[in-house]
Structure 1
Amino acid sequence: MNITDFRKMKASSQKISMIVCYDHWSAQIVNQSKVDCILVGDSAAMVIHGHNTTLPATVDMMIQHIQAVAKGAPQKFIVGDMPFCSYRKGLTDTMETVDKMMKAGSHAIKLEGADDNASIITHIVKSGIPVMGHIGLTPQSVHSLGGFKVQGRQQDAADRILEQALTLQDAGCFSLVLECIPYELAKRISAELTIPTIGIGAGPYTDGQVLVLQDMLGLQTHKPKFLKTFMEGFSLIKTTLDQYDNEVKSSTFPTINEHSYEHSV
């Protein structure tokens, strides 16, 4: 998949599948799958590093995750997430961050919000770098939003989100993530935009879907309403670990014939 395929897929009503991935070993699996593209999300701060929000994600943290994923998934289109405040420190600092992320292996970058970001996005796009927008629930703004809450339920808020979507399209974004908004609003936005929308907690009418790999594999204990777990990974891995522990303690692993080396003759 490349940047031109996003609009083509929307035009042909072909859904886009995106997965959030953070490391080399899982990227290798995604690389062999039919999933269209990868987002290296700043949610790594929460999922991998154990923080309560995405705010502690740094540029250096994101660079390391992007590099690992790019090495593991050379055949996938990779979007790198710009961390908190990295695109609000002035144009020079913003472009230095974008430069690092693209050289680390991103094919595009994503940033959150629309207010006051349009000129920054336009500059990045005119520099030859694809930009994915992100509106609705924007986790980097969790404190100003009053928590991780569904956005756009009231009519004025819904109209504002639609306005933001159009602003981001006009600024040059090639696609938008719509997070945790009512499905009716997501349907309206998707119908009005010429660029594809990728939903997470935005219902079935977006042009694609994105989930965190650990979430959809059932490796996390939290399960928001929008999440479907396609595998009960937590219990499966726990059972396997317990089996390993039992075999070590019962001396059934390792065995001489299958798992051990002999002296050379």
Structure 2
Amino acid sequence: MSATAKKTAPLPDDIRAMKGGTPIVSLTAYTTPMAQMMDAHCDLVLVGDSVGMVLHGLTSTLGVTMEMMILHGQAVARGLSRAMMVVDMPFGSYEESPEQAFRNAARIMRETGAGAVKLEGGTHMAETIAFLVARGVPVMAHVGLTPQSINTLGGYKVQGRDAAAEKLMADARAVAGAGAFSVVLEKVPAVLADRITAEIDIPTIGIGASAGCDGQILVVDDMLGLFTAFKPKFVKRFGNLGEDGEAAIAAYAAEVRARTFPAEEHTFAAETPRKAKDK
């Protein structure tokens, strides 16, 4: 299908059906313009709680609120017509109980139009995932490095190495069995990601995992070179827009100080022109 062909947004079951087929393409987005740029190319777009670090300058995702996720979800929704939107549930909005998770997930879906929510956690979150799915809330799961748990994981470390591999395997099986339609595998050894992909019946979406996953996701500001505070090993820079932007700002500042901007073509005449080009 060409990039310009008309296509309706996929549903969670459509994403699930992509298991073992053409790799699922996904990126994060936080704003309408960015969502518009990726809409023709992505199967799903995630409004990630990474927005707290990328756009709001927080040091982790733990300070992100429901209001922030809903605001950015609404902005992204305005830019999408082809890709399915998934919204992260922020820290503290779902861990207390399945009932709390349902209230907040329902609010996110109602106020943003999201096709699904994403929550972090494996075996210990299986009951909550099943509770949500049974009540009409599609869930994307997230195991491996779960950024909302960095204080208990000891930082942004690779998960599932050595003896910990079986626990992570159990987490993946648990979320699949609970009814999640897909699962993000973050910062796990490639051989383990391949094993999980082969053994569970829902799509795996890798970020720092393996090319053998059923799909991939990156933070768009990372892959475009807009967010440069740090660069994880698993990020490939497909652009250097941060450097380009800084150079453009520097050029603007130089022209303002030299009084070469605005030039004549950027200013307006005192008399009304005959043709209505001067607005």
Show the counterpart of 2:58. Answer: 51
Matched position secondary structure for 1:60? helix
How far apart in 2 are the matches of 1:179 and 1:98? 22
Q: CA 1:263 to 1:2, structure 2 compared with 1: closer, same or farther past 3 Å?
A: farther
Where in structure 2 are there 5+ consecutive unaligned residues?
Answer: 1-9, 274-279
Show the counterpart of 1:16. Answer: 24
Does 2:59 align with 1:80? no
Matched position secondary structure for 1:170? helix
Q: State the shift of 1:97 in Å.
A: 0.7
Q: State the shift of 1:117 in Å.
A: 1.4
Contact between 1:254 and 1:260, CA under 8 Å: does it hold in 2?
Answer: no
Q: Give per-residue Cα distances to partners, 1:82-126, cap 9 Å, x unaligned.
A: 011211223332222111110112110000002321111111111
- TM (norm. structure 2) is 0.89
Contact between 2:106 and 2:137, CA under 8 Å: does it hold in 1?
Answer: no
How far apart in 1 are the matches of 2:140 and 2:268? 51
Instruction: Determine which of 155, 168, 171 is the counterpart of 2:178.
Output: 171
Contact between 2:98 and 2:127, CA under 8 Å: does it hold in 1?
Answer: no
Percent same amino acid among aligned pairs?
44
Q: State the shift of 1:248 in Å.
A: 2.1
Where in structure 1 are there 5+ consecutive unaligned residues?
Answer: none
Matched position secondary structure for 1:198? strand
Q: Once superposed, what is the RMSD of the aligned Cα atoms?
A: 1.5
Contact between 2:25 and 2:43, CA under 8 Å: does it hold in 1?
Answer: yes
Q: CA 1:188 to 1:262, structure 2 compared with 1: closer, same or farther past 3 Å?
A: farther
- TM (norm. structure 1) is 0.94
Does 2:224 align with 1:217? yes
Q: CA 1:91 to 1:261, structure 2 compared with 1: closer, same or farther past 3 Å?
A: farther
Higher mean displacement: 251-260 or 99-108? 251-260
Does 2:14 align with 1:5? yes
Show the counterpart of 1:98. Answer: 105
Q: Give per-residue Cα distances to partners, 1:143-164, cap 9 Å, x unaligned.
A: 100111000111x211111111
Does 2:210 align with 1:196? no
Contact between 1:149 and 1:180, CA under 8 Å: does it hold in 2?
Answer: yes
Does 2:155 align with 1:139? no
